[in-house]
Amino acid sequence: MKIAVLGTGTVGRTIAGALAGLGHDVVIGTRDPQATLARTEPDAMGTAPFAQWHAAHKQVGVATFADAAAGGELIVNATNGGGSLKALAAAGPGNLSGKVIMDVANPLDFSQGMPPSLNPVNTDSLGEQIQRTFPEARVVKTLNTMTASVMVNPARVAGGEHSVFVSGNDEDAKKAVTEILQGFGHRDVIDLGDITSARGAEMILPVWLRIWGSLGTGEFNFKIAR
């Protein structure tokens, strides 16, 4: 499948690399491809420059958000939560219309320091904001409740015996996303319901961040025992 992964951070790179490895035709989207490829220094979080990653993943195309989205049959939103609506607006509503948006972003707000808070929260979610802003797109919130390496390789934790959630209004879109999740090796995909259930999935983040702090690693996940 032709897939546009919007986002050049750890998550975008990890998902794009994994999808390409599974045989998908992947283009990664960024605001300014030339500037993104020209960076030579690690970012503030110590993430290696994008060009270094791309040199090892030459089969992944690099394009503007709009060009990537135009060619994608399915869109992955792996942009910063505070910039997701802008990134998707730059991708262009017409390039999103009718397509599945697999939304893995979290609306983390660092403006008051650490730990971050969520904005929106409780009575709204980023998943719903995206669905409202792009009503012709079919948004499915997923994978936001685990670290990037576990998203695409669940076996890294407890042999893959843990859970992933999907939220969205469109049953066929959730089926398409579930197939991608299963392609990554996820076995316990729990449908939380319509896109309003993204509130719950996003509100896992405050707990996730505290567990990360306690364990000193992001390589863990939630298993819904039943």
Q: CA-CA distances (angstroms) from residue 206 to 70, 179, 202, 211?
A: 35, 28, 9, 9
Q: Name which position in 10, 117, 169, 178 contacts ligand NAP (CB under 6 A).
A: 10
Give the contact letters, 111-150, x = binds to ligand NAP (CB under 6 A), - = no: ---------------------------------x--xx--
Q: How far is the CB of 48 from ligand NAP (least distance, A)?
A: 12
Q: Which amino acid is at 42?
A: P
Question: Reading across the β-sheet that carries 100-103, which strands appear in turn?
Answer: 61-64, 25-30, 2-6, 74-77, 100-103, 138-142, 163-168, 188-193
Q: Rounded to the nearest whole angstrom, what is the least distance from the CB of residue 106 to ligand NAP in the complex?
A: 3
Nearer to ligand NAP, 144 or 167 (CB): 144
129 vs 84: CA distance, rounded Å: 10
Nearest residue to 78 (alpha-carbon basis) of 135, 34, 125, 141: 141
Stretch that binds ligand NAP, among 7-15, 19-27, 133-141, 181-189 (CB under 6 A): 7-15
Residues interacting with ligand NAP, by CB under 6 A?
7-12, 30-31, 36, 78-81, 83, 86-87, 104-106, 108, 144, 147-148
